[in-house]
């Protein structure tokens, strides 16, 4: 692909993520994550905030707000709506569309003083950074190799992992269809393809890395995701 076109794609993806960061920062600034708010209600508040800030009305995947016991559930599940409690852990996973470019961004927030929940929340970006460091250090890394490495980091930290992958392709909307039968689109054990490659249209592949930690004994988890191969 033409270098100028590719730089434009990178710039658009980076800009989309920066706006997602602004959206999440504003969620915190407006103190939307509070005891007594329902997950669905909070999701609707964030959707309205995205419209207010950026005119965003489209999301490329379902908007996820999960609290407490629901934070152990993988993406594909749709647990019953839960009200945020005073000592809960909450994560947000949103994929807003900015000018036809996808963002996929996830963060975790802890209400209260539970030290284990705070430790899990602190481990999320640390493990994510270690996953990116491995990706950066191995130019020929495959999806399967990065998956195994991130799973190892999670288990070494004393947590469990949820789901069959730790990330996926991202790009223009609508991007190449991601399906459970096409694991080459995921950072997953079946994906033995190099991650640094071009897609069927000749465009460079760009990736989201996601970390979902679970404390089985405590019955809670946390989530963190953002662009892997394009620095902010």
**Strand intervals (E) in the chain:** 64-67, 89-94, 97-98, 101-102, 105-110, 160-161, 165-170, 186-188, 206-215, 220-227
Is the model's pLDDT at 168 over the cut of 60?
yes
176 has a pLDDT exceeding 70: no
Phi, psi of 11 (to 5 degrees): -60, -40
Q: What contacts 32, CB < 8 A, 6 or more positions away?
A: 42, 45, 46, 49
Looking at residue 220, the DSSP 8-state letter turns out to be: E
Average pLDDT over residues 89-103: 77
pLDDT at position 118 = 98
Average pLDDT over residues 165-180: 66
Please name which of 63, 76, 100, 24 lies closest in space to residue 186, comparing C-alpha atoms: 76
Q: Residues 191-217: pLDDT tens digits?
A: 999 999 998 888 899 999 999 999 999
**Residues 9-25, mean pLDDT to the nearest whole number:** 87
Q: Which residue from 197, 200, 187 is spatially nearest to 161, judged by alpha carbons?
A: 187
The lowest-confidence range among 104-108, 141-145, 168-172 is 168-172
DSSP state of 50: H
Q: What is the pLDDT of residue 174?
A: 47
Delineate the domains of the chain, giving CATH numbers in brackets: 3-227 (3.90.230.10)
pTM more than 0.75: yes
pLDDT at residue 60 is higher than 80:
no
């Amino acid at each position: 692909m033409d270098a100028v076109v590719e730089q434009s794609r990178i710039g658009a993806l980076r800009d989309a993520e920066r706006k997602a960061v602004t959206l999440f920062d504003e969620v915190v600034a407006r103190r939307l994550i509070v005891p007594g708010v329902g997950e669905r209600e909070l999701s609707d508040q964030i959707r309205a905030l995205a419209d207010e800030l950026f005119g965003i009305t489209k999301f490329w995947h379902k908007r996820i707000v999960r609290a407490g016991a629901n934070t152990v559930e993988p993406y594909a599940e749709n647990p019953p709506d839960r009200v945020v409690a005073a000592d809960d852990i909450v994560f947000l996973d949103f994929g807003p569309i900015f000018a036809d470019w996808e963002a996929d961004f996830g963060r975790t927030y802890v209400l209260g003083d539970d030290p284990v929940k705070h430790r899990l929340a602190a481990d999320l970006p640390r493990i994510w950074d270690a996953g990116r460091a491995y990706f950066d250090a191995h130019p020929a890394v495959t999806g399967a190799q990065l998956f195994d490495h991130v799973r190892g980091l999670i288990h070494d930290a004393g947590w469990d992992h949820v789901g069959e992958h730790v990330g996926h392709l991202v790009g223009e909307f609508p991007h190449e269809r991601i399906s459970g039968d096409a694991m080459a689109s995921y950072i997953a054990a079946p994906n033995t393809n190099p991650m640094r490659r071009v897609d069927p249209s000749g465009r460079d592949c760009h990736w989201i890395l996601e970390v979902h930690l679970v404390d089985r004994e405590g019955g809670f988890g946390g989530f963190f995701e953002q662009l892997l191969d394009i620095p902010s």
